[in-house]
Amino acid sequence: MLDGLYKAEYGVDDAFGRSIMCMHEGRMLGGNSAFAHLGTYQEQGGEILGDVITQRHNDDPHYKPLMGADVAAISVRGRLKGNTIRLEGSAAPRPGALFWANLTRLDDEALPPVGEVGVGGIVNGLYSIRIRALDGVDAGLSGVMLLMNGRILGGDAFFYYLGSYSSADGRWKGEILNQEHTPAKGENPVFGGHEVGIGFAGTCNGEGAELEAIALAGKRSLRLAATLKLMRAA
């Protein structure tokens, strides 16, 4: 089974990027701090064929598009070797150039028990997320989060999230473990180098959600707030 959470490293010409990708029942959903990946895949004769659209979700100009466009269509094919999927193909903004991607399976054994979702609960789907520290602390993260029937999967170019939530009547609460898949201490000194446990609660509707949380990063306790915006329902 290909279903699972992967670290994705990819490139075209001299450009290189890194993201999180979740593969689940023929869908490929993921992204990083500025771009979401929305696509599908199928298996044919031992090959994996995929089509993905990348789409900006963070307007911060610090994050440059890999292929010079905020929206890009990518078509790939490849095979699973061990715990890595090697894909090659083309990207519409770079005609004639080889696009490549390596997807490496991440350990999801730390997933907590799945929560319950009732009437008025948060919608299944891929969300962009912006996390900011409170109390005057200069720290934060942005990325993507997949919510699926009480389970949380997500991340960005350096971190991945595993968690669970319960939701009903416009409220939700849960827990997340934030871990590195690529060393991030130089990029994010607050969260880098730590497994960060986060407990949260907040409100939700059909378009997104808000939350407040307490995060434990090493010996440091941080109050956080976050905004989620639905990019694609699942």
pLDDT tens-digit readout, 153-181:
999 999 999 999 999 999 999 999 999 99
pLDDT of 110: 66
pLDDT of 108: 76
- Predicted confidence band of residue 36 (pLDDT cuts 50, 70, 90): very high
pLDDT of 194: 84
What is the rounded distance in angstroms from the CA atom of residue 4 to the CA atom of residue 2?
A: 6
What is the rounded distance in angstroms from the CA atom of residue 163 to the CA atom of residue 176?
A: 4
CB neighbour list of residue 219: distance below 8 Å, 6 or more residues apart? none
Pair of tokens at residue 208 = 């997104």
CATH for 4-105?
2.40.128.380
pLDDT at 113 over 90: no
Q: Which CATH class is domain 125-233?
A: mainly beta
Q: pLDDT by residue (tens digit) across 136-152?
A: 988 888 999 999 999 99
Chain region(s) in the chain for CATH 2.40.128.380: 4-105, 125-233
pLDDT of 205: 97
What is the rounded distance in angstroms from the CA atom of residue 77 to the CA atom of residue 86?
A: 8
- Predicted confidence band of residue 191 (pLDDT cuts 50, 70, 90): confident
CB neighbour list of residue 222: distance below 8 Å, 6 or more residues apart? 133, 134, 135, 137, 139, 190, 214, 215, 216
Q: pLDDT by residue (tens digit) across 97-112?
A: 999 999 999 987 767 7
pLDDT at 91 over 80: yes
- SS3 for 110? coil
Burial class (CB in 10 A: 0-12, 13-18, 19+), 12: buried
**Which neighbouring-strand residues pair with 126?**
146, 232
Q: pLDDT by residue (tens digit) across 37-80?
A: 999 999 999 999 999 999 999 999 999 999 889 999 999 999 99
Pair of tokens at residue 221 = 């306790």
What is the rounded distance in angstroms from the CA atom of residue 165 to the CA atom of residue 184?
A: 26
pLDDT of 148: 95
Pair of tokens at residue 229 = 């915006």
Q: pLDDT by residue (tens digit) across 5-15?
A: 999 999 999 89
CA distances from 11 to 65, 72, 78, 96, 145 (A): 12, 13, 15, 14, 23
Closest CA to 159 of 39, 30, 26, 1: 30
